[in-house]
Every structure is written in C-alpha cells, then in structure tokens.
C-alpha cells in the first residue's frame, strides 16, 4: 500500500526518561503499518526555514478509538528540528508522511527470535515483539545504552519478552558493557533462529558480525541521514550486496531501513567501495 | 500505481475563481500545464506518483543520467541550511541503457510527459547520450545538465565557460531529433549569465532551464571538517529563490524570445508566479518536494489561483509581464 500524507493532531507529549513520546492522530496509518516502518514529520510549519522532514521509527499504532487511529513516535534529544517537535502541545497540527520503508520480515513458522535495541532503537521492537509472539515465536530482548537514562521502554518491553537482558556502558543498569557482550549467551540460551536489531550503526555492525559467526539470520534497521524519506533524493545510501552478489549504493528509505545484516557492507558505510556498481574508476 | 490518500492541503482553491488557461510551450514542446518536477528532486517520477497524478504536471524532468551506471559520492551527501539544503549526490544513476529500458518505459506507459536530463563528463559523452535518446519514443524534450557542480572532476563544469557550454549544446543538437527541443540548464555561478545564455542559444539550444544549484559549503562543528563527503555541494531551496528570479529576469530581458523553464526554491504558487512574471514560460519545483511530496501539483493549482486572482485569463499573458511597463491588470478592490 502507498504511504499516506496527512495532517495529524498532537494528542499527547510525554517525557520518558531523556526521550519524548509524541502521540498524534493518524487515521488510516495503523492499518498500513508493519513493525519496522517509519514515518516523517514536517518541521516548523509551512514557512519553516527547516525544509527537511524528520524521520522516526513507528513505535505504536492504534487503528480505532475516538481519534479514528493514532500513532506514537519516540523523539531523542538532537538538533533544532526535534527540539521544535518536542515543544509541540496538544491540538497542534503536524504534517505526517508514512508509513515508509521496508519493514521487518516475520518468520512464517514459530521461531526463536532475539530483538536487540540500542538506546531508543528499541522503539520499533515493541510492535515486532507483539506480532512475533502472536505467531508463536519465542522472543528474547536485549536492550543496551551508554547509561540507564538512555534506555527506552525496558519495563514495558519486558512484558512481551521471555527474557530481557539490559546492558549499559557504565553499569548504571543491568550488565556493564555492550549488547554484543551478552548476545552470544542469549543466542545460546534461546537457541536463536533470527536476530532483529535496531540502533546505532556501530551496534548493528557488531550484532551482524556475531550473527554471521553463529550462523543466525539477522535483520537490521539502519540509521542514515535522510532528506526526503520517499526515495527521490538519493541522500541516504549505503553499500549493500544484492542477491546477485553485486554491491550497490541503495537508499535506506525505500530499499531499507531494514536490511539483512549479512548484506550490508558495514565496514564500508560512508564510502563508495571500489567494487560497487558505478564506483569511480581511476582518473574519473 | 495506487496513490497515497492525501487528507490535507488545499483541495479546491479554484472553486470561486475563473479558470485560467495554463497551457504553455517550451520551444516546440506544447504542454497543457506549466509546472514540472526538477531534475534530481523526483527520481523518474514513480515515487511521487504515489502522492499525486504525475500526468497532470507539465512534465516530469528526470534525474540527470550519464552513459554508465554511477555510484555517486560518499555520504554524508546532504546538509540542511537556512531555508535550503546542500547536496553532493554526485549523479548516482543507472546509466542510460537501464534508464531507457526501465524508467522511460515506465513514464511512457504511465502517460507522463517526459523531459530527460542528461549529464556528461565530456562533449563526446553528451553526444552519445543524445544519440541513445534519438530513437526513443515519447520524449518531449531533453534537458542538458551542463551546470552540475557535483561531478567528480571539477574541471568539467561546462556551464561556466561559454565555449565549453556551446560545444556541449552543439553536440547534443547535432545528435538529437530536430523535433526534440534542447533545454540548456544554466549555473548561476557565473559572472554574466546572459553571455552564457546567448552562447548556448547560438549553439542550438531551444530553451533554457534557469537555475541549477549554486555552490556552497558547511563545516560540521563536531568533526571540525566539511559536513559533506564531497566537501562542497549544490545549494537549493527557497534560500536561492531571489538569485533564480534575478537570473530569469536578466535572461528574459536580453533574449525575450527564448523560452525559460524557471526554478530555484519555488515553494508555492506565488513563488512560481514570480518566475513567470520575470520571464519563465514554465517552472520546476525541486527541493520543496522533499518537504512536501505533493508540492509540484499543489504549486500548479496554487499558480492557477494566483494568476486568476490577478486577472490573468491565460498563463501565456503573464510570461514576462514584470518587464512590460507600469500598467497593471485590473485589480479587484480587496487586492489593493
């Protein structure tokens, strides 16, 4: 189904640790949304000097209710655009385009799944956990961040998971260290078939490496700077190996944001690998 | 393709105003509508067709295509700037053969009017691109991107030199069907844009696209290095609109017979009208599409309203109106 372009009204703006959860009316969005989809929001109104829409993973959707459908997103403290967004108040209108991108692929048969979230990269994993459990999958969650306050939704996600393992770099909550320090144990303990990961690129790269070494199928939702979010600007590209073995610079907005972890050339992100299709040749 | 449900935006703003004849022409290319996409801001139309009916536009100007597949530049490719953005995409694309086979075929089947934008690293490459397009059905015009500042080799900015620009246009003209209008896209990064416009007209350009992005740069204060992988990038968006209107004005004043496809930061119908009054026969909506994916059609609808509100019955009578003396069309009282 094609994405919607609609005006959503702010229903609620609430703090969640260092994050902000924004709820918006979004009739029709829930029916089209699958876990891993994202949406983008226009910043600053019609005459805004900030032209580029901001992209957010879809955290929750409600298809019914008094508002005829709504959506929740999680906003991290970043630049001017997101500052403007978290300053919105109930009844303010926002321009929404979504759902966008390729979502996570769910296993056809019950499987043992590990969900790995870094920081507020956990946001799209709640819906995913629910849908996996509905299919009879075992769900184990690993949530990691630099500090306790940078974790998002750990209490909530615990309800949808067989086990929750928390890591923080400073040891302020859970195991001191990175998600990858506990991943192998969780793979072992849960006899994992599939890993789903969302978070910073460094984390995704490390998760993909462990999954490859252990022979576990892995899907990663990447984080790349985008301008349009709909596939026309060619800003958000990264090197991905296709089914034909050829590396292409593909758009994370429409070809992703979910990619198979073994197909992303993690070490080459931010570069044009010399063997990528159409890479500059000597002298060009 | 099924279309996005758009539940906001100006739905029928023309309800109480007289209809305006929006038809126009770019050389021998006659079109019922004056708003186009801008090259590099619409891919090849398919993605935007999810948001609005692309066949209602004047035409779709496709992303500049080169002979070979091209990966473009390393990321970061984009930096947001006040009322605009910088990009250094580096002309990523599939190459002309795949482009004709897939993208042109899709647009033709969809029924869109097609303007193919070509870019080359040498006069010979432009000539070859024109030859490739010559037998292809359904191409309304060719836009020649001689002004992209993003190509790998900075020595190849043809648009900044009248002779180099002329050589490219001449090569494209010679290798194209005589019935296909050639639109030369000019860079604003020149001392005298009128001299470039005159030169490419003499070389066989039927029309001009004015303007391409202007070269800019941002330094990232976290890394203390250039924000873009390509170091410099093309600045676009409303920030450059006054530069674009000025360029259209100067060229139309000097060469009033030469059709201009005006572009640069058009955000709404009134912005588009400025370009028409300055002398553009049609306009392209580019970067603002990233802000509002239905912007091209919205701008076209708003332009019709903006013309009707000012008493114009046809778009054509507004082209270059800003140059023609002190008399204004009759205004209604509330406009005064």
pLDDT tens digits for range B252-286: 999 999 999 999 999 999 999 999 999 999 999 99
End-to-end CA distance of chain B: 45
pLDDT of residue B67 exceeding 80 = yes
Confirm if A232 and B290 have CB atoms less than 8 A apart: yes
CB-closest option in A225, A230, A234 to B89? A234
pLDDT of residue B10 exceeding 60 = no
Report the pLDDT value the prediction gives residue A67, as an integer from 0 to 100.
74
pLDDT of residue B6 exceeding 80 = no
Integer Cα distance of A229 and A38 in angstroms = 9
Residues of A in contact with B70 (CB under 8 A): 278
Mean pLDDT of B47-68: 97
CB-closest option in A224, A230, A277 to B293? A230
Integer Cα distance of B88 and A234 in angstroms = 10
The pLDDT confidence band at residue A225, using thresholds 50, 70 and 90, is confident
Confirm if B120 and B129 have CB atoms less than 8 A apart: yes
Mean pLDDT of A112-140: 96
Domain spans in chain B, listed from the N-terminal domain onward: 24-67+93-214+236-335
CA atoms within 13 A on the CB side of B119: 30
pLDDT tens digit string along B71-110?
999 999 999 999 999 999 999 999 999 999 999 999 999 9
- Inter-chain CB proximity B4 and A2 less than 8 Å: yes
- Inter-chain CB proximity B92 and A254 less than 8 Å: no
Report the pLDDT value the prediction gives residue A283, as an integer from 0 to 100.
39
Would the pTM count as exceeding 0.90? yes
Tokens representing residue B143 in the block: 């836009």
Burial class (CB in 10 A: 0-12, 13-18, 19+), B333: exposed
Q: B134-162: buried (b, 16+ CB within 10 Å) or exposed (e) per residue?
A: eebeebbbbbbbbbbbbbeeeebbbbbeb
Residues of A in contact with B39 (CB under 8 A): none
Looking at residue B159, the DSSP 8-state letter turns out to be G
CB-closest option in A50, A232, A254 to B42? A232
pLDDT tens digit string along A22-59?
999 999 999 999 999 999 999 998 889 999 999 999 99
**Which residue out of A235, A268, A281 would a mutagenesis test of the B interface target, given it has the greatest number of B Cβ atoms within 10 Å?**
A235
Integer Cα distance of A27 and A31 in angstroms = 9
- Inter-chain CB proximity A51 and B294 less than 8 Å: no
pLDDT of residue B30 exceeding 70 = yes
Confirm if A119 and A152 have CB atoms less than 8 A apart: yes
Query: Regarding beta strands B114-118 and B139-145, do their DSSP bridges make them parallel or antiparallel, or are they unpaired?
Result: parallel
Burial class (CB in 10 A: 0-12, 13-18, 19+), A196: buried
- Nearest-CA neighbor of B187 among B246, B247, B238, B245? B247
CATH dotted code for B24-67+93-214+236-335: 3.20.20.70
Walk me through the domains of chain A, giving residue ranges and CATH numbers.
Answer: 4-100 (2.40.30.10), 112-221 (3.40.50.80)
Mean pLDDT of B41-52: 96
Mean pLDDT of A155-184: 94
Burial class (CB in 10 A: 0-12, 13-18, 19+), A246: exposed
Residues of B in contact with A7 (CB under 8 A): 7-8
Tokens representing residue A75 in the block: 């906003």
pLDDT of residue B153 exceeding 60 = no
* Spatial strand order in the sheet of A194-198: A175-176, A163-168, A138-145, A112-118, A194-198, A217-221, A258-260
DSSP string, B236-266: ESGGGHHHHHHHHHHHHHH-TTS-EEE-SS-
Report the pLDDT value the prediction gives residue B12, as an integer from 0 to 100.
54
Integer Cα distance of B184 and B146 in angstroms = 7
Supply the mean pLDDT for chain B.
92
């Amino acid at each position: 189904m094609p994405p919607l372009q609609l005006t959503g009204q702010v229903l609620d703006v609430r703090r969640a640790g260092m994050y902000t959860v924004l709820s918006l009316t979004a009739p029709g969005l829930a029916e089209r949304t699958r876990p891993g989809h994202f949406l983008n929001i226009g910043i600053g109104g019609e005459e805004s000097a900030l032209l580029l829409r901001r992209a957010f993973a879809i955290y929750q959707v409600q298809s019914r209710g008094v508002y005829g459908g709504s959506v929740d997103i999680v906003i991290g403290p970043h630049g001017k655009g997101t500052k403007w967004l978290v300053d919105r108040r109930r009844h303010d209108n926002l321009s929404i385009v979504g759902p966008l991108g390729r979502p996570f692929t769910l296993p056809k048969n019950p499987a043992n799944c590990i969900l790995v979230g870094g920081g507020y990269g956990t946001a799209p994993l709640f819906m995913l956990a629910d849908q996996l459990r509905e299919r009879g999958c075992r769900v184990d969650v690993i949530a990691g961040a630099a500090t306790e306050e940078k974790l998002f939704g750990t209490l909530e996600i615990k309800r949808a998971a067989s086990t929750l393992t928390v890591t923080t770099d400073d040891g302020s909550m859970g195991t001191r260290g990175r998600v990858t320090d506990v991943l192998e144990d969780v793979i072992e303990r849960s006899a994992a078939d599939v890993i789903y990961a969302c978070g910073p690129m460094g984390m995704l790269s490390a998760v993909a490496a462990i999954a490859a070494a252990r022979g576990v199928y892995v899907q990663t939702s990447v984080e790349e700077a985008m301008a349009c979010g709909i596939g026309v600007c060619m800003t958000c590209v990264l090197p991905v190996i296709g089914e034909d073995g050829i590396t292409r610079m593909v758009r994370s907005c429409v070809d992703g944001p979910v990619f198979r972890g073994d197909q992303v050339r993690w070490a080459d992100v931010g570069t044009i690998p010399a063997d990528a299709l159409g890479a500059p040749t000597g002298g060009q | 393709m099924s279309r996005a449900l758009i539940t906001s935006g100006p739905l029928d703003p023309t309800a109480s105003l007289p209809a305006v004849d929006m038809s126009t022409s770019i050389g021998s290319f006659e079109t019922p509508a004056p708003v186009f996409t801008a090259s590099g801001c619409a891919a090849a139309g398919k993605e935007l067709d999810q948001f609005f009916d692309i066949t209602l536009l004047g035409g779709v100007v496709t992303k500049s295509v080169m002979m070979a597949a091209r990966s473009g530049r390393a990321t970061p490719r984009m930096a947001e700037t006040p009322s605009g953005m910088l990009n250094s995409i580096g002309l990523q694309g599939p190459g002309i053969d795949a482009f004709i086979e897939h993208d042109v075929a899709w647009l033709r089947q969809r029924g869109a009017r097609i303007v193919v934008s070509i870019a080359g690293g040498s006069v010979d490459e432009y000539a070859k691109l024109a030859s490739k397009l010559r037998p292809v059905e359904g191409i309304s015009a060719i836009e020649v991107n001689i002004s992209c500042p993003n190509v790998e080799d900075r020595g190849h900015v043809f648009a900044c030199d009248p002779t180099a620009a002329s050589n490219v246009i001449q090569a494209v003209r010679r290798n194209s069907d005589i019935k296909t209008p050639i639109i030369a896209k000019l860079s604003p990064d020149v001392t005298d844009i009128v001299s470039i416009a005159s030169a490419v007209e003499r070389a066989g350009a039927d029309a001009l696209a004015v303007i391409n992005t202007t070269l800019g740069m941002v330094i990232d204060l976290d890394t203390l290095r250039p924000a873009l992988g390509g170091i410099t990038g093309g600045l676009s968006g409303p920030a450059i609109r006054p530069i674009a209107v000025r360029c259209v004005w100067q060229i139309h004043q000097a060469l009033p017979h030469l059709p201009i496809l005006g572009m640069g930061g058009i955000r709404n119908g009134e912005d588009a009208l400025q370009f028409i009054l300055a002398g553009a026969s049609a306009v392209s909506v580019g970067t603002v599409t990233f802000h509002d994916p239905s912007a091209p059609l919205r701008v076209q609808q708003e332009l019709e309203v903006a013309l009707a509100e000012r008493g114009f019955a046809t778009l054509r009578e507004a082209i270059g109106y800003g140059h023609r003396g002190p008399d204004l069309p009759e205004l209604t009282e509330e406009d005064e």
